Structure 1
Amino acid sequence: MADDAALARRIETGALSPLNALNPYVQGVYEPVARETTAEDLPVIGEIPADLHGAFYRNGPNPAQAPQGLHHWFDGDGMLHAVWFENGKARYRNRYVRSADHLADLKGGCGAGGVMEPSTRANPASTRGERVYKDTANTDVVLHNGSLMALWYISGEPVRVDPRTLETIGGETFGGKLPRHVSAHSKVDPRTGEFVFFDYSLYEPWMSFGVVSPTNELTHFARVDLPGPRLPHDMGLTENYVILHDLPVVFTEGGLRRSTWNIHFADQPARFGVIPRNGSGDQIRWFETDSCYIYHVVNAWEDGDEVVMTACMMTPNGFPPNPEYGPYAAMVNVLALHAVPVEWRMNMRTGEVRKRQLDDRIGEFPVINLDYTGRRTKWSYHVAMAPTELQRFKGLIKYDLETGAATTWDYAPSQFGSEPAFAPRVGTTSEDDGYVIAFVTDAGTGKSEVQVIDARDMAAGPVARVLLPTRVPAGFHGTWARGDQLAGA
């Protein structure tokens, strides 16, 4: 929590409402930045490798206006932060993702709040339909068809963004053919250029998935019926299949009845639905496994008769709700991510599921070399979680997904990072020949930097530290775009 004087100043200036004085996720490393910034030729400690060419983008919440009601960390307006690398130099900028709801809020209100407020579905006069919470496009970002798409975790309207300037282009409907919404953690197939997405309804018993061509045409769409409404967060993608998640974290009966964000862990197994990428809903094969929740998939691929998926499996964090946070105690408790890497093998011939835990270290926000999405990978890069109530990213873990062996890099004690990206070395033909790149912020000084680490020598730490002119708040997910992918953008 921030010190009392800093809190008082923020409340006095209107930057923080009294109701959010107990909310740790608008303070410290989570505090939003006030301005959009552009900076060229950034100072560097060390040397940016000459074979590092491309851009690292990261999305996250950054409230444009001081929240007045109860505010969840996931509610903030989307803001992209990006660093472009070329010829041993780096430049930076950050820009808001100007979703339709963000623009409406600036003009007086979009008619919806965040997940700790009553949803508009509970208001009979609302005309928002399925858009029951403010759609911020603040969660994920992918590169497809020459531009970025910012995506939202409750499934919303994708927002196209210029990859060179971060200026918002507008909402994406794939030529007016998008049936409904798109969820964060939808995937781009690096071999075909296709965008494969999933969607789900908060209050109705179905999920759906679709395929968009590299030229932005919706080529396939199918719906999958479920036993009840579900709240999936990610999906798996292989060369031939989509893997959908039916997981036991669901709305309570009261939450469904009142249309409020009240969730619980139901007494039911987890299920993974494997379905052909161009298949119909009745072709799905369900595989039951131990009850668990999954926020983030590492990767998925096919191995003979088996479909393999590796992901971070949530386990109990061991923290009781802390009354110090008042009305935010439950939010803080849920956000204390406690996950371990696990591999599931689903046999398409026998229906058998085999589960293997790779390690017992706590980590999350996994990334891979995106050129290997949907095919067998040996390496992944995870954020190491500090054993604290607040979601603090204390370092990085590189995993060998075959053996579970790991190499780590720990930030300085006062530093905390966010999801990294893997940047392949120019001209490489090897999966882990490249760099791991992450935004890192010092909680004491408020200064941020980008650390560039040789992926083959994680323990040696950064080969370059790019110093930024503004603080980068802790955030969510990002992506890497190679220089050749940006050339035609």
Structure 2
Amino acid sequence: MADDATLASRLPNTTLIGVNEMNPYLQGLYAPVSAETTALDLPVIGEIPRDLHGAFVRNGPNPAQSPEGLHHWFDGDGMVHAIYFENGKAEYRNRWVGTADLQAERAGRDIGAGGVLLPSARARAGSTRGDLVYKDTANTDLVFHNGSLMALWYISGKPVRVDARTLETIGDESFGRALPRHVSAHGKVDPKTGEFCFFDYSLYEPWMTFGVVDAHNQLTNFQKVDLPGPRLPHDMGLTENYIILHDLPVVFTEGGLRNSQWQIKVADQPARFGVVPKNGRGDQIRWFETETCYIYHVVNSWEDGDEVVMTACMMTPNGFAPNPAYGPYAAMVNVLALNAVPVEWRMNMVTGEVKKRILDDRIGEFPVVNLDYTGRKTRWSYHVSMAPEQLQRFDGLYKYDLGTGATQTHRFAPGMGGSEPAFAPRVGAVEEDDGYVIVFVTDAAEGTSEVQVLNARDFEAGPVARIPLPARVPAGFHGTWAPGDQIRTAA
């Protein structure tokens, strides 16, 4: 482990081989780091509020070994980066997620699986929890539940428990060996009950599942939902009483299904949202049909009288043509160029009517809210602003009023790339936006990173604190806030 300020300029030892010399998601902002770092009592520009206590943790892909063949950005081994605040001071750590597949590869064993650009087996030898067909990286999401983190993978893998204070891997999570299959990224925790609600899906068969784990880590419900065909959902909604599942028109092509390859298309079919009691049966689901669209990420959901409300980022065409400079990665680059706008859907549980409202036309994604309001009506959400470039770069943050669509903006310095932020309630806060927005920001040209802390109620005033980091934080995926008084650690 390193505890050395000289790591600020240390770039990875990764050497790009063959076709990966054309892979932009292994270079610049996206290049992996080669070291695990621990740095205590970090320098601060400005002042860290003393009522900020807890950890902002973010997951992302970071190949532990130089990729030799076709490599999708989503294939990298999971690495968690964390900034921990207490008493006006900050600490930084990063650690690889110790998945079973990473441990096997480090031991020199063939795991019998590759990344999503390679053909897959319909089932992996030795898999005891369904069709884990690709390398399981746990690189996508982080959920804070029952005092620690769970690192999750978007193609439905094994949850991996991680200590929220030290980032050391605790091990695979099976909820007392009761989990029948997998858990996709973007499960939600009900802040009132402590329940973790999740979904899972089969790549090649016409169904998905949902489940509930209580505050004591016991699986209390697990249900199957039949579908017209295999689907590739990415997120779900959660309200006080319901789970909202997605049946969306991005599906495998016939050739992809036949050859077990990640080849997708937009089918000519409507989008459907399935509202089901979170503690109910799969056959109690009620489907609401709306015009075709795709959703990567839900903002929040809640109940309003007879209506179930879901706010989410709806994809729109990005308008980019494939760039031949990226060679075999041109299609991957275009798919990753997310263009989305915030939209509200209202599903009437009495009449069956669906109403849709576009909240704003700005291009943004990776939305977060105050997690104390998950499943309940929220007024505020915080999104990244997408730079008008073909590569995925976050050039700032938006604060949205979900009622009016009014927007406040914080821009990063030119050439900087940010991360999905987190909202951290101020200690003792009683109102929804009484707290701080925290974000990792990286300068690709300099190879340096920092953490910015913004006062959520004075969003456009700029950071109240900037914390330069001793290691670069590559662009990545999703994170969360872990309240300091709820973190359980063996350290």
Q: What's the TM-score, normalizing by structure 1? A: 0.96
How far apart are residue 290 of structure 1 and its match?
Answer: 1.1
* Equivalent residue, structure 1, for 2:319: 318
Structure 1 CA distance for aligned equivalents of residues 14 and 489 of structure 2: 44
Tell me which residue corresponds to 2:181.
180
Aligned to 1:90: 90
How big is the shift at 1:15? 2.1
Greater mean deviation of Cα atoms: 272-281 or 300-309? 272-281
- Give matches, 1:401-420, under 5 Å: 401-420=402-421
Contact 1:120 1:126 in 2 (8 A): no
CA contact (8 A) 1:69 1:117 kept: no
Find the aligned partners of 1:189 and 1:488 in 2 and give their Cα distance: 22
Tell me, in whole angstroms, the C-alpha distance in 1 between the residues paired with 2:34 and 2:14.
12
Say what the alpha-carbon RMSD is for the aligned residues: 1.4
Q: Distance in 2 between the 1:488 and 1:425 partners?
A: 22
Which residue is 2:356 aligned to?
355
The one-letter code matched in structure 1 to 2:235 is D
* Counterparts of 1:452 and 1:227, CA distance in 2: 46
Identify the residue that residue 236 of structure 1 maps to in structure 2: 237
Residues 147 and 488, structure 2, Cα contact 8 Å, conserved in 1: no
Q: Tell me the distance in 1 between the aligned counterparts of 2:242 and 2:488.
A: 31
**Alignment partner, residue 15 of structure 2:** 15
Q: Which structure 2 residues correspond to residues 329-344 of structure 1 after superposition, within 5 A?
A: 329-344=330-345
Provide the C-alpha distance between the structure 1 equivalents of 2:80 and 2:488, rounded to a whole number of angstroms.
20
Match of 1:213 in 2: 214
Query: Aligned to 1:462, what secondary structure does the other structure show?
Result: coil
2:121 and 2:125 mapped to 1: Cα distance?
6
Deviation track 1:158-209 (CA, whole Å, cap 9, x = no partner) reads 0001111111010000011101000000011110001111010000100110
Contact 1:275 / 1:284 at 8 angstroms: preserved in 2?
yes
What is the match of residue 465 of structure 1? Answer: 466
- Cα distance in 1 between the residues matched to 2:444 and 2:65: 23
Corresponding residue for 1:43?
43
**Hey, what's the Cα distance between the residues in 2 that align with 1:394 and 1:330?**
23
1:23-68 deviation line (CA, Å, top 9, x unaligned): 0000001000000000000011110011111110000000000001
Give the SS at the match of 1:298. strand
Residue type of the alignment partner of 2:355: R
Q: Does the CA-based 8 Å contact 1:233-1:296 persist in structure 2?
A: yes
1:77-156 equivalences under 5 Å are 77-108=77-108, 109-121=110-122, 126=125, 128=127, 130-156=131-157
Residues 14 and 65 in structure 2, CA contact (< 8 A), matched pair in contact too: no
Q: Deviation per CA, 1:230-261: give whole Å up to 9, x if none.
A: 00000000000000000000000000000000
Structure 2 CA distance, aligned partners of 1:269 and 1:68?
40
SS at match of 2:22: coil
Identity %: 76
- Name the stretch that deviates more: 256-265 or 100-109: 100-109
Q: After TM superposition, which residue ranges in structure 1, 4 or more long, deviate above 4 angstroms?
A: 125-129
Q: Which residue of 2 aligns with 1:442?
A: 443
Please list, as runs of the form range in 1=range in 2, the aligned pairs for 1:220-299 lying within 5 A after superposition: 220-299=221-300
**1:333, 1:67 → 2: CA distance?**
21
Counterpart in 1 of 2:31? 31
Instruction: Determine the C-alpha separation between the residues in 2 that align with 1:102 and 1:251.
Output: 27
Contact 1:239 / 1:375 at 8 angstroms: preserved in 2?
A: yes
Paired residue type of 2:383: H
Shift of residue 106 of structure 1? Answer: 1.3
Report the Cα distance in structure 1 between the residues aligned to 2:14 and 2:405, rounded to whole angstroms. 49
Please tell me the residue identity of whatever aligns with 2:417: F
Give how far 1:126 is off.
4.9
In 2, the alpha carbon distance for the partners of 1:22 and 1:101 equals 26
Per the TM alignment, residue 458 of structure 1 is displaced from its structure 2 partner at its CA by: 1.2
Going from structure 1 to structure 2, the CA distance change for 1:104 and 1:487 (only over 3 Å counts) comes to closer
Could you say which residue in structure 1 is the equivalent of 2:3?
none
Instruction: Please state how far the C-alpha of 1:145 moved relative to its aligned partner.
Output: 1.1
Name the CA distance, whole Å, in 2 between partners of 1:208 and 1:131: 15
Q: Is the 8 A contact 1:32 1:63 kept in 2?
A: yes
Which residue does 2:4 correspond to in 1?
none
Alignment partner of 1:160 is 2:148 = no
Superposed, 1:295-310 pairs within 5 Å as 295-310=296-311
Alpha-carbon offset, residue 422 of structure 1: 0.1
Aligned to 1:5: none
Contact kept, 8 Å, 2:163 with 2:488, in 1: the verdict is: no
Extract unaligned runs of 5+ from structure 2: 1-10
CA drift of 1:343 comes to 0.1
| In structure 2, C-alpha distance between the alignment counterparts of 1:45 and 1:117, rounded to whole Å | 46
CA offsets 1:421-445 (integer angstroms, 9 cap, x no match): 0000110100001100000001211
Bigger mean CA deviation after superposition, 391-400 or 101-110: 101-110
1:341/1:358 contact within 8 Å kept: yes
Q: Which runs of 5+ in 1 are unaligned?
A: 1-9
Match of residue 364 from structure 1: 365
Q: Secondary structure, in 3 states, of the residue corresponding to 1:25?
A: helix
When residues 385 and 14 of structure 1 are mapped into structure 2, their CA distance, relative to the original with a 3 A threshold, is closer
2:398 corresponds to: 397
Q: Distance in 1 between matches of 2:328 and 2:385?
A: 28
User: How far apart are 1:14 and its partner, in Å?
Assistant: 6.0
Count of residues in correspondence between the two structures: 477
Scaled by the length of structure 2, the TM-score of the pair is 0.95
Contact in 2 for aligned 1:300/1:374 (Cα 8 Å) = yes
Equivalent position amino acid for 1:429 in 2: V
The aligned amino acid for 1:101 is D
1:192 alignment partner in structure 2:
193
C-alpha displacement of 1:127: 5.2
CA distance in 2 between partners of 1:219 and 1:451 (Å): 39
